[in-house]
Amino acid sequence: MNEHGLSAATTDHQVVLPFDNSYARLPERFFARCNPAAPAAPATVQFNRALATELGLPELGRGQVAEVFSGRQVPHDAEPIALAYAGHQFGHLVPQLGDGRAVLLGEVVGRDGVRRDVQLKGAGATPFSRAGDGRCPLGPAMREYLVSEAMYAMGVPTSRSLALVTTGERVLRETHLPGAVLTRVARGHVRVGTFEYFAVRGDVEALRVLADYVIQRHGLAQGYDENPYLELLREVVRRQADLIARWMNLGFVHGVMNTDNTTLVGETLDYGPCAFLDHYDPGARFSFVDQGGRYRYENQPAVAHWNLMRLAETLLPLIDTDQDAAIEQAQDAVGSFKALYERNRLQGMRRKLGLFREDQEDAALVEELLALLERQQVDFTRFFRRLGDIAGEPNADASVRALFTDPGDWEPWSQRWRARLQRDDGHSMERMGAMHRVNPAVIPRNHSVNAAIRAAEQHGDLQPFQQLLARVTQPFANHPDDADGARPPEPKERVLRTFCGT
């Protein structure tokens, strides 16, 4: 038995997984071939069998899961590689980053026909580790598992978590912590930073190969024979505008929006220091390393736009041989982000407010509400959930009014919202159901995530993690017997800073 009370894995047979590794067939300068490190005594904490079924993976026992998804046994047909990329980190270009603690085992084509990467995070040092140990503590791996699966359940494009395995080893950070490996599944790991890696080296040929690969693999810009690279940029802009709007409408703060964490497929990637708003605060930041607040909640749309400009710069030689013409076209493509984002954000907020059709006053209604929530420091998630509860009951505002320190401040906006509902389509029960399908009852509350991590790290108790995972993967369900799972933190429980575990 290991420190978490789980039997270490043993197996006599090599596992065969249905890998087909297109990225490993690209030129060698795109990656480094390296095997994951073999941990001492891997043990399975969590395995996402539903996701494994979607991926078409064979049935695996807990021992096999621990062996394969810790890196101790490299499956047949895997071609382990660490990807090369650069990135702007907090606005400063680092010409070479790369997978310093992750190894891409390979790609699988799921039952839906979609190709996805299977990557081990925390699998040991790679040629890109820059003197790091390549390891991952259990806590950050637990956070990513919980939040990525919750985000998926809430309809946000995201990488997903397939397996969480302890290594039986300790990882030295500020203190010695239990080590873990997280298996991350994503539609792709090509980032803005991947393009920057070749752009900073003046490798136009590699940029073209990379862009063609993304277009072919992900179906982006296919059919645009005249200028597929410009259309690629436009599609990435559209996807980022949709993604960031979804983050904002859930009160999600990513925390480390570097260009090496911005994917071309528009999925949320890297959940290191992420957190959710409790009370509504546009200036909220949680990441310990974000001292200047560059990636605070309210700044996420502007940062996404900035990151897209960095991508556009790398694509200029592909968009047009005339640099001035290329710049003009790229600026036009990236310039569409703000309007796309604002449209997506407003559409999402209409759904949260129970509005079925558009009205020219909606934007003002939303802005007045957000100002009210900020002024009164109202819990973001709980407010919208309760708003759905009262959508069909004109005289049932007490549960929402109780969220405000000054209930009188709520009344004017409430009256405007009621009047807006009267001008809208739909019946009250239909409206409440629609609102409850977009306003979660349960999110991975920061204090709940931290409590689960502490229980595992300090006492080897995985039950709080498993209970929280069960809750957050059913975010829109009411849990009448589990009111504690949805509650905001007490003042002493508030999480002010988060850490990524590197």
Q: What is the Cα–Cα distance from 191 to 308, expressed in whole angstroms?
A: 11
β-bridge mates for residue 161, sequence order: 184
Q: Which helix (H) or strand (E) holds 449?
A: helix 446-459
CA–CA separation, 315 and 232 (whole Å): 9
Give the C-alpha separation, 95 to 410, whole Å: 51
Active site residue 260: yes
Burial annotation 53-76 (CB, 10 A radius, 16+ → b, else e): ebbebeebeebbbbbbbbbbbbbe
Which residues have C-beta within 8 Å of that of residue 182, sequence separation ≥ 6?
Answer: 120, 121, 122, 136, 141, 144, 145, 161, 163, 164
Question: Which class for 220: exposed (0-12), middle (13-18), buried (19 or more C-beta within 10 A)?
Answer: buried
The answer to whether the CB of 42 falls within 8 A of the CB of 168 is yes
Residue 438 CA to residue 354 CA, distance in Å, equals 10
**Of 99, 117, 242, 260, which one is the catalytic site residue?**
260
Cα 121 to chain centroid distance, Å, stands at 15
Residue 200 CB burial class (10 angstroms; 0-12, 13-18, ≥19): middle
Query: Structure tokens of 287?
Result: 């990441």
- Catalytic amino acids? 260
